[in-house]
Chains A and B, each alone.
Chain A
């Protein structure tokens, strides 16, 4: 066991335990219409405003597959480097629930549209490869509302029939951090592909988490499934709590019972939902209303050639072409928009700008500022072109680094062309040695004791540099100030 794996073990009273985690991520397919009906998938809207006769399971209604949803599933499969099954089958999963109008969910049980694939997850200490078992298409259910009437429940079918992709991983995850990083990476890939918006707050991406524990090297333990966890943070908390709960039971001489559990975010714990005995018998069988889904190889190939560049490839390119560090590249490619912004800064000028400087500015200044205000990059008040001009001014020596930050701030608050701002507000760096010399002389004259110190302690020169620049209102060229000071102070 390597160091990274070792660090993930949890200590129990009888020794170390390893957590084994597999995930079933439910991702809502980005599409105009539902999986088997023409009704809208728009979020919100009055209850039951987006319901067709099919979604309400009226007598005699038949499902018709929405080809765009199929294309989205195939794109996702290709993005996960997975096998695309040219023949797949829709099955009925039968159970009664008021928000399930047909009395069955149309899903893919035995023959999913996408087979085995892989997601590469970069963690600070290591890179893990998470196997994808399968991806299948299925219908979402409606929503039961229990708080609108004293004795009745209301049913909203707006979501009923919306297409979901269930993406099932192999049990390749070993810690809450692994699991969180996996979901974030998966989310990033889906967003790049445009097949799911990944909005966890709206429930458009949610996970069922399978957790078991074992002594390192031992066979797999009995797992519990935690249903419907809807934030990355909760996924981490749920696994943490569930693993400790299981270890405690086993160390107390008990055994884990296979069951379905729910995560309570308020109390930060999981609790039993139903045991194996109470598990439904879903009576799966092929849906006779739908023919098997047959895909033409050309259809898949056309989708393959139209795939966008995905985070992994983009990262490799950023490292290779722009000489960025792996870390910087990771940060930039996590969101397609960030990566595009960065590239627009680097490549948007007359000549290619310095990539490392651009990366620093995007990651530190821009992201820092965006995070502070809770904004998305798409809503950044400073555009890539504006930031690019600031970097040009900096590179030309027209402004100093400090002034550059000021200009960034002005553009953030007021907008405008950075070059015009620098011109209009007199922020140009002073390189006129006469003017700098006057300032240097004045500062040395005002601080004779420090000037004396500088002869033995060169660090004091730095203090003088700061003072001179400050007196120039930040406009004095630090290089010129430094050279002059060293001459005058005789160091």
Chain B
């Protein structure tokens, strides 16, 4: 038998149901893996006690036949999801000691279905970042390294802890949030599967908000099937989030392996950007070929407003963030730095509590919403957003079932490599992913191969609203063709390899 931590969710589920393994031993193996991987800095809070307690309860349910779909599956939770009685920080100093009295809807759904929580995962502060370097708790280190190099690589962001933990086999799956690519980009950088479902598919209730009109929760997993299993539990209508959609959640797992014969897959010419690596370009072609070989029809499509998506995104997202983060004012909870008067207290608190990137985005957001600038920036960006949405709609109206693009223009970079650069260079990581959030569409990243240096590359599939099943069907074809990618466990003291 393989290592317990190497199991997929589907495999573990079967072994648990057949009582071949217990939830307790599965949890124990993962608790040990988490402890052994602190060098990655993937977790900001380990919760071994609750993991053991939840596993014990899962074993009882497995024994008495009341097991849920995720019974005994150990997961990690991005620290943007509020978890009752477990510190929730958004990786920010301003919430360093914040312990919610409530549980987010998405994590409640997971626990309802029997999943076991291993702890809270590191991320970019308030999900603002593409490398997990803006976290107050320090950067996450990718389990991946370039061939023959000891240099630390970023796992991507903002859900960097989630991606690293799943890739390093610290948990079987993890939750993430995606506002401009924060699930798909780290999934691609870490050689795993990540899906951002359609806006409204998962409840946002209890998730620390970054940009409300773009934020969406989704799962990380090592296989397409596992991602499908997790999404089914996470998704669903929530009366507490009026932007969540009241629509039945399909059995996504059943879509994995479904025929893609005759499916039209679009290749958008506008995604062939300057600076795209040859490896990425080749992979994109390979992905198209794999789909074609399985019966899909590959068509060239045009998304003419793509080039405006990134600038528009970096207006809309900071605008919403500047307002969403106003509640962190030192009055009711979180950090408070004293001051002469209340204004002084606000200034001290927010200056000390927010990191540089968060402060930058609050300033941008405040600026673009200001009287006299609103029309030129915010309103215009919203118009661009409408045009981007229309681009996709026109494409889908021509019978295109999904669009295939690279997830990122290149593979992951080294920790520190881009942190001193122009922030815009960092923002360019999101060039292929932000359009999907702007249009509210589902987007999935599936590993496609390794670049010349041995780092993973991902392919992105973009679907029609609420057609996640199509994405799972297409992704499973790519997954079958490309195979799985596993990093060498250099971080582990016991050297599990």
14 sample A-B contacts, Cβ–Cβ < 8 Å, listed by A number: A57-B327, A60-B81, A62-B241, A64-B240, A92-B323, A94-B369, A98-B329, A98-B342, A103-B325, A103-B329, A153-B342, A283-B322, A289-B212, A289-B243
Our pick among A58, A62, A283 for the contact of B369 (Cβ within 8 Å) is A283
A57 and B331 alpha carbons, distance in the complex (Å):
11
- Mark out the residues of chain B between 318 and 347 whose CB falls within 8 Å of any chain A CB in the assembled complex: 319-320, 322-323, 325-327, 329, 331-333, 342-343, 346
A428 and B235 alpha carbons, distance in the complex (Å):
82
Which B residues are in CB contact (< 8 Å) with A62?
A: 204-205, 240-242
Do A57 and B332 contact each other (CB < 8 Å), given the known contacts A281-B370, A285-B374, A289-B212?
A: yes
User: Are A103 and B102 touching (Cβ within 8 A)?
Assistant: no
Interface flag for B303 (CB, 8 Å): no
User: Are B320 and A288 touching (Cβ within 8 A)?
Assistant: yes
A416 and B98 alpha carbons, distance in the complex (Å):
65
Max count, chain B CB within 10 A of own CB: residue among A57, A62, A101? A62
A residues whose Cβ falls under 8 Å from a Cβ of B: 53, 56-65, 92, 94, 96, 98, 101-104, 153, 155, 281, 283-285, 288-291
| Among all A-B residue pairs, the 10 with the closest Cβ atoms | A103-B326, A288-B213, A283-B369, A288-B212, A57-B327, A60-B206, A59-B208, A60-B82, A281-B371, A289-B212
Max count, chain B CB within 10 A of own CB: residue among A56, A59, A94? A59
> Nearest Cβ distance between residue A90 and chain B, in whole angstroms?
10
Interface flag for B90 (CB, 8 Å): yes
> Nearest Cβ distance between residue B337 and chain A, in whole angstroms?
15
Specify the chain A residue showing the minimal Cβ separation from B98.
A59
Which A residues are in CB contact (< 8 Å) with B102?
A: 53, 58
Which A residues are in CB contact (< 8 Å) with B325?
A: 103
A65 and B90 alpha carbons, distance in the complex (Å):
27
Interface flag for B400 (CB, 8 Å): no
Specify the chain B residue showing the minimal Cβ separation from A155.
B331
Interface flag for B355 (CB, 8 Å): no
Do A94 and B242 contact each other (CB < 8 Å), given the known contacts A101-B331, A153-B342?
A: no
Which B residues are in CB contact (< 8 Å) with A291?
A: 242-243
Q: What 0/1 readout, one digit per residue, does chain B (60-103) give for beta carbons within 8 Å of chain A?
A: 00000000000000000000011000001010000100101110
Q: What 0/1 readout, one digit per residue, does chain B (351-390) give for beta carbons within 8 Å of chain A?
A: 0000000000000001001110010001000000000000
- Mark out the residues of chain B between 167 and 226 whose CB falls within 8 Å of any chain A CB in the assembled complex: 204-209, 211-213
Which B residues are in CB contact (< 8 Å) with A60?
A: 81-82, 100, 104, 204-209
User: Are B207 and A283 touching (Cβ within 8 A)?
Assistant: no
Our pick among A59, A61, A64 for the contact of B90 (Cβ within 8 Å) is A59
> Nearest Cβ distance between residue B177 and chain A, in whole angstroms?
11
Interface flag for B239 (CB, 8 Å): yes
Which B residues are in CB contact (< 8 Å) with A281?
A: 370-371
A56 and B319 alpha carbons, distance in the complex (Å):
22
Our pick among B98, B241, B242 for the contact of A65 (Cβ within 8 Å) is B242
A67 and B212 alpha carbons, distance in the complex (Å):
22
Which A residues are in CB contact (< 8 Å) with B343?
A: 96
> Nearest Cβ distance between residue B349 and chain A, in whole angstroms?
11
User: Are B371 and A101 touching (Cβ within 8 A)?
Assistant: no
A63 and B243 alpha carbons, distance in the complex (Å):
10
> Nearest Cβ distance between residue B64 and chain A, in whole angstroms?
34
> Nearest Cβ distance between residue B250 and chain A, in whole angstroms?
23
> Nearest Cβ distance between residue A280 and chain B, in whole angstroms?
10
User: Are A285 and B378 touching (Cβ within 8 A)?
Assistant: yes
Which B residues are in CB contact (< 8 Å) with A285?
A: 319-320, 323, 369, 374, 378
Specify the chain A residue showing the minimal Cβ separation from B350.
A96
> Nearest Cβ distance between residue B239 and chain A, in whole angstroms?
7
A87 and B331 alpha carbons, distance in the complex (Å):
35
A155 and B330 alpha carbons, distance in the complex (Å):
13
Which B residues are in CB contact (< 8 Å) with A94?
A: 322-323, 326, 369
A413 and B298 alpha carbons, distance in the complex (Å):
94
Interface of B is mostly: loop
> Nearest Cβ distance between residue B284 and chain A, in whole angstroms?
33
Which B residues are in CB contact (< 8 Å) with A53?
A: 101-102
A288 and B378 alpha carbons, distance in the complex (Å):
13
> Nearest Cβ distance between residue B210 and chain A, in whole angstroms?
11
User: Are A96 and B204 touching (Cβ within 8 A)?
Assistant: no
Which A residues are in CB contact (< 8 Å) with B333?
A: 58
Do A103 and B327 contact each other (CB < 8 Å), given the known contacts A281-B370, A285-B319?
A: yes
| Additional A-B contacts beyond A96-B346, A101-B332, A102-B326 (9; CB < 8 A) | A59-B90, A59-B327, A62-B241, A155-B332, A281-B370, A288-B320, A289-B209, A291-B242, A291-B243
A59 and B213 alpha carbons, distance in the complex (Å):
16
User: Are B242 and A59 touching (Cβ within 8 A)?
Assistant: no
Specify the chain A residue showing the minimal Cβ separation from B346.
A96
Which B residues are in CB contact (< 8 Å) with A288?
A: 211-213, 243, 320
User: Are A59 and B378 touching (Cβ within 8 A)?
Assistant: no
Our pick among A59, A63, A64, A289 for the contact of B239 (Cβ within 8 Å) is A64
> Nearest Cβ distance between residue B278 and chain A, in whole angstroms?
39
A127 and B415 alpha carbons, distance in the complex (Å):
76
Max count, chain B CB within 10 A of own CB: residue among A98, A101, A289? A289
Which B residues are in CB contact (< 8 Å) with A59?
A: 82, 88, 90, 95, 98, 100, 208-209, 327
Specify the chain B residue showing the minimal Cβ separation from A290.
B242
User: Are B212 and A96 touching (Cβ within 8 A)?
Assistant: no
Specify the chain B residue showing the minimal Cβ separation from A97.
B342
Which B residues are in CB contact (< 8 Å) with A63?
A: 242
> Nearest Cβ distance between residue B376 and chain A, in whole angstroms?
14
Do A96 and B329 contact each other (CB < 8 Å), given the known contacts A60-B209, A283-B369, A291-B243?
A: yes
Q: What 0/1 readout, one digit per residue, does chain B (456-483) give for beta carbons within 8 Å of chain A?
A: 0000000000000000000000000000
Our pick among B98, B327, B378 for the contact of A102 (Cβ within 8 Å) is B327
User: Are A64 and B242 touching (Cβ within 8 A)?
Assistant: yes
Which A residues are in CB contact (< 8 Å) with B241?
A: 62, 64
User: Are A104 and B323 touching (Cβ within 8 A)?
Assistant: yes
> Nearest Cβ distance between residue B440 and chain A, in whole angstroms?
12
User: Are B323 and A103 touching (Cβ within 8 A)?
Assistant: yes
A56 and B98 alpha carbons, distance in the complex (Å):
14
Max count, chain A CB within 10 A of own CB: residue among B100, B325, B329? B329
Our pick among B81, B100, B211, B371 for the contact of A58 (Cβ within 8 Å) is B100
User: Are A96 and B326 touching (Cβ within 8 A)?
Assistant: yes
> Nearest Cβ distance between residue A288 and chain B, in whole angstroms?
4
> Nearest Cβ distance between residue A432 and chain B, in whole angstroms?
78
Which B residues are in CB contact (< 8 Å) with A153?
A: 342
Specify the chain A residue showing the minimal Cβ separation from B369.
A283
User: Are B90 and A283 touching (Cβ within 8 A)?
Assistant: no
- Mark out the residues of chain B between 82 and 133 whose CB falls within 8 Å of any chain A CB in the assembled complex: 82, 88, 90, 95, 98, 100-102, 104
User: Are A98 and B331 touching (Cβ within 8 A)?
Assistant: yes
A274 and B82 alpha carbons, distance in the complex (Å):
40
> Nearest Cβ distance between residue A214 and chain B, in whole angstroms?
27
Which A residues are in CB contact (< 8 Å) with B346?
A: 96
Which A residues are in CB contact (< 8 Å) with B371?
A: 281, 283
Specify the chain A residue showing the minimal Cβ separation from B104.
A60
Which B residues are in CB contact (< 8 Å) with A102?
A: 326-327
A396 and B9 alpha carbons, distance in the complex (Å):
93
User: Are A101 and B327 touching (Cβ within 8 A)?
Assistant: yes
A62 and B105 alpha carbons, distance in the complex (Å):
12
A62 and B240 alpha carbons, distance in the complex (Å):
7
Which B residues are in CB contact (< 8 Å) with A92?
A: 323
Specify the chain B residue showing the minimal Cβ separation from A281.
B371
> Nearest Cβ distance between residue A89 and chain B, in whole angstroms?
13
> Nearest Cβ distance between residue A62 and chain B, in whole angstroms?
5
Which B residues are in CB contact (< 8 Å) with A283?
A: 322-323, 366, 369-371, 374
> Nearest Cβ distance between residue A423 and chain B, in whole angstroms?
64
> Nearest Cβ distance between residue A53 and chain B, in whole angstroms?
6
Which A residues are in CB contact (< 8 Å) with B81?
A: 60
Which A residues are in CB contact (< 8 Å) with B320?
A: 285, 288
Specify the chain B residue showing the minimal Cβ separation from A57.
B327
> Nearest Cβ distance between residue A34 and chain B, in whole angstroms?
14
> Nearest Cβ distance between residue B364 and chain A, in whole angstroms?
12
A441 and B450 alpha carbons, distance in the complex (Å):
130
A173 and B371 alpha carbons, distance in the complex (Å):
30
